[in-house]
Structure 1
Amino acid sequence: MNDLPGEFGRHLARDRRRSAHTVRAYEATAVRLIQFLGEHWGEAIAPAALGKVSAADLRAYLAHRRGQGLGNASAARELSAVRTFLKWVGGDDASPRIKGPRVKKGVPRPVAPADAVALAEEVAEDAAEPWIGARDWAILLLLYGAGLRIGEAVGLTGAVLPLGETMAVTGKRDKTRIVPLLPQVRDAIDDYVAASPWPVDRGEALFRGAKGGPLSAGVVRKSVQAARTRLGLTDRTTPHALRHSFATHLLGRGADLRQLQELLGHASLSSTQIYTAVDAAHLLDVYRNAHPRA
């Protein structure tokens, strides 16, 4: 039983051609599920017992994970991983049907960090080829981790390579700005370049479509739309919403408005100031939900 999650991971990599990131995430979910069931049932878990997991068991597991701080989109992905694991162990009937979490529609809000990562993971996992999954993962991390517009991301060329701690980005009105690159973002781009079947020349598009031409922003938007539906996120969860989240989360952690204006490539400070209202609304929600006298 100890190596069952490892065997599951090898199946995903070998037979399902899942990315290394997805394999790690699904293996970790399998480990967590087995540990939870052992405590929940009060007995050691044998592989045959996994075929007896009930809808109530899965709801209890999700409640346990939500208690550990899992957001709605992350919980939906966790449930998807659990279902995949149970079906692998015991067939289609081994995974009981329960409804995944849903997000209530409301006023626009930044995408939570865990949900932004879950969205990127879902898009990457659903890709037709591993290299396309690596491409989509890199692009969405650029939007969320560096604040790029989707048009700026797909407009990058091979001239940005090799990557350093910063990247020059040409935005609206041909204005160039310098954005910092987190190590995770650099690694994601490097992984995509290594996996891509197309050569990366300085004057050619960095991100390629399935047939080798420059990637269209519409392809990314379509993939995000499908992923957010599966995760139960609202239709406001778009590629541009990841850029908004980048800005709002930086502001919430004390970033200066002028610095944020430079990072986003806004022509005027008034464009950046909208995030002060968004952040204030978010803080008010936290206050109302947490303060005993709110």
Structure 2
Amino acid sequence: MAPRRIPSSLPKSTIKNAELRSGYGDMQAHKNTTAMAAHVADLCSRGMIGDDMAVELLRPSSNPTYSSHYLASHPDHTSEQPEMTSLVTAERHRAKRDKEMEQFLEDFKAGRIDEWANATAPKPTAGTEQPAVEEHCIDLVAVTIGHNESDDESSELTDASVSQMQLEKPEASPHKTSLPESSAPAPASEPGSATIPPKTQTRRQEIKSEPLKHSPGALDYSGFKYGELVAECRRRKILGDGSSQTVRNRLIQDNINARQSLPRAFIGYKGNLRDSHKHRTLAAMQGAVE
């Protein structure tokens, strides 16, 4: 294709230094040239630079040669740079990141965490009881919510008014120092029935993922490792977090939905949920994980 010819009838540009204009149309190079010309004129009027330095600054080059006198007048921009991190420190930081990466890969392949470094539930085994998750009661949390100094002041005023009313109220009967004797015999106390203090915490069992019944002739993914299950979820673009049984059930359900023409639960874009410099998979180790 022949190059496009510019008609000679077009008027020429009247802008100074038009050859320095930016190709994107923002005139940034032209503005920088104009600002530098004003800067050089100001320095020359005050006798801070000579003619040689003025010519060097006005030259359309990206690598001008600055004089020592000119650099001394700009200490903020020409001061010494901070010392670079030593090689020993850089190697120590790299070794720390490599150790974190190896630990992440070990936990991921063992099924202890998912691909977003979130801890998965422990795999239930027969004959063992899952540890209970302790939670604070809502009453304990509600006590701390909305508590401020004004509440303390109002409680002090209320306590003072209640105590004043108790002093002014006459006593209806003299104070008894002993309890009345009961005619009924006291029940025999068992050795193990001690007084149990009120519970301040509630216990909740972890939710166990029951195996999902797969379609006849379809895979049940029982022989797949955790990393293989997550890789299959990633290939299908479905969610792959949770324990091994949770991911296995999700794959079985996706097979059922695909076979029965039901809507499949694809995962959307979740962004970078973890530090890529800490948990990214090395190129040499990608085959071992997937």
What TM-score, normalized by structure 1, do the two folds share?
0.17
The structure with higher relative contact order (CA 8 Å, sep 6+) is 2
What TM-score, normalized by structure 2, do the two folds share?
0.17
Structure with the largest fraction of helix: 1
